[in-house]
Amino acid sequence: MVLFRLLKALIHKKSLIYLLIALIPSLAVSLTLARHQVRVVKSDYKLRAQEYANFHAMNIERFVGETVGRLEMLSTALNIQHISLKDIEKILRETKGKDPRFSGFYWANTSGDVIISTNKITTRINVSDQPYFQQARDEAQTSISEAHNGRVTGRYIISIATPIVDRHRVKGVFVASLRMDEIKKEIFRLVNNERITIKDATGKPLIQSGSIPNQYNVKSVMKISRVPWTITAFVNPNTKKVFWDSFFKNLFISLFTMSILFLLINYLLLKRKVQKEKEQTELHKLELIGNLAASTAHEIRNPLTGIKGLVKLLSEENDEPKAQSYYKVIQSEIDRINAIVSELLILGKPTAYTLKTYNANVIVSEIAPIITSETNYTNVELTFHYHPEELPVSCVKDQLKQVILNLTKNALQAMPYGGNLSIHLDKQSDNCRITVSDNGVGMSKDQVSQAFNPFFTLKKAGSGLGLTVCKRIIDSYGGEIKIKSTPNQGTQVEILLPLVSQI
């Protein structure tokens, strides 16, 4: 009973120490860092909202500006050429037919009577009571109306009026009506993840891309100069997700670090109280170090880099030939270990990726400059043969590039004194075929049969994993890779990838 109480008190004490040293500080640090991350994300999204607002404002400015320019040029052309009303009507109808965003074009005399209309008019229409018409006629300059329902079509529009001036006298007004629904459609076509609201000078909403949920709490407002509108872009930084992701990530790191600190402190306390358990404590320490080493195995390249640098420094300080030969061997073996670790990570660790459809011709053309620059230094003549049609394949672009670059690298190394390298793309049944051919040293049948085996290599400094990685990538696409080779004549590597049917 006494032993049970002592054990319970010891556990309680350890829990309290862990709470004070690890858990509470970790929670405090994680909370602070998570709040900071939310502020950073909000700041970034504020800039993004400004970019969205500016983009859509510029798009509206551009369209309105183009319309104003078109009307003013037409007005100038009419004054110079003295075109008849019939010809004017024909020009206006042709202009309207080129862009669905126009509701109609009209010519009104100075009294406001509509004389020419691209839309059918059954009754007399007079626009002299419209402020935009009055401004264009009285001030002899282009004016733009508020959004309103048109008298001819009944559509929701804005009107742009340009005076027709002859010898400093206004003899009529051109009016172009822009459809708000088409402007709205154009804006929606360019909307991505943001929400957009456009309001007129009175604050009345004109265009809104869906409802604005509460989570779209970051916004940017911008005025549009050519029309009396303001545009507001709303974005959703998803601060809750950002907060909790950052919180748990930092909590894990903090707890891990604090747990190590707690274990070290606990170890010191145990060592002071229980001297007789030194051997068991040392064993526990070794086990802890082993677990930590296993959890950081992916960091093996970091200490390798440090070792390599130190060996290089030592080699520079010691010029003795025998020592230099040792340093050279050490450097070579470190490079070999690093290369093996890098390729093992690709070979052994499963990665999550999404296959997309790409044109194989385009993929090869994107890496053509890299291959060309390599051949320029090796006295190798390079030729590319692209298929005249598209070759759509489902793959990860960067992985397929890596495969082709690995094969061309092998080919160049097989031609140390120069030669010919060819990359050919064509169709074979329902497959895309990519062939990499060289006239280098070639391989025997036995060597070809082992080419895809891990750690099999014919190079002194090779890891023997390059072709293994290539095969794994091609297999994951449902494809096939083959090697044909003849000693002293060359090697041909053929890749077959299923073509994606395009509907």
Task: Give DSSP secondary structure letters for 380-395.
Answer: EEEEEE--SS--EEEE
Please give the residue that has the higher pLDDT: either 503 or 7.
503
DSSP state at residue 142: -
Burial of residue 149 (CB within 10 Å: 0-12, 13-18, 19+) is exposed
Q: What residues have CB less than 8 Å from 369, skipping those under 6 apart?
A: none
Averaged pLDDT, 129-135: 89
Do residues 499 and 430 touch, judged by C-beta distance below 8 A?
Answer: yes
Do residues 456 and 464 touch, judged by C-beta distance below 8 A?
Answer: yes
Question: For residues 377 and 26, what is the distance between their CA atoms, to the nearest angstrom?
Answer: 55
Do residues 159 and 142 touch, judged by C-beta distance below 8 A?
Answer: no
Q: What residues have CB less than 8 Å from 75, skipping those under 6 apart?
A: 162, 163, 164, 165, 174
Quote the tokens at residue 213.
Answer: 């949920």
Beta strands in 167-307 (DSSP E): 169-179, 195-199, 205-208, 218-224, 229-235
Question: For residues 195 and 213, what is the distance between their CA atoms, to the nearest angstrom?
Answer: 9
Question: For residues 275 and 281, what is the distance between their CA atoms, to the nearest angstrom?
Answer: 9
For residue range 372-384, what is the model confidence (pLDDT) as tens digits?
888 888 888 999 9
Residue 243 CA from chain centroid, whole number: 23
pTM score, two decimals? Answer: 0.43
DSSP state at residue 499: B
| Per-residue pLDDT band at 115 (split at 50, 70, 90) | confident
Of 245-249, 309-313, 334-338, 433-437, give the lowest mean pLDDT range: 334-338
What pLDDT is recorded for position 295?
A: 41
Burial of residue 466 (CB within 10 Å: 0-12, 13-18, 19+) is buried
Other beta carbons within 10 angstroms of residue 172's beta carbon come to 24
- Give me the sheet containing 419-428, strands edge to edge: 380-385, 419-428, 431-438, 490-498, 480-486
Quote the tokens at residue 351.
Answer: 């990665």
Question: For residues 237 and 45, what is the distance between their CA atoms, to the nearest angstrom?
Answer: 6
Averaged pLDDT, 432-460: 83
Of 14-18, 106-110, 409-413, give the lowest mean pLDDT range: 14-18
What pLDDT is recorded for position 291?
A: 40
Residue 497 has pLDDT above 90, yes or no: yes
Residue 222 has pLDDT above 80, yes or no: yes
For residue range 52-85, what is the model confidence (pLDDT) as tens digits?
888 888 888 888 888 888 777 777 766 665 666 6
Helix-helix angle 2-18:239-273, to 10 degrees:
130
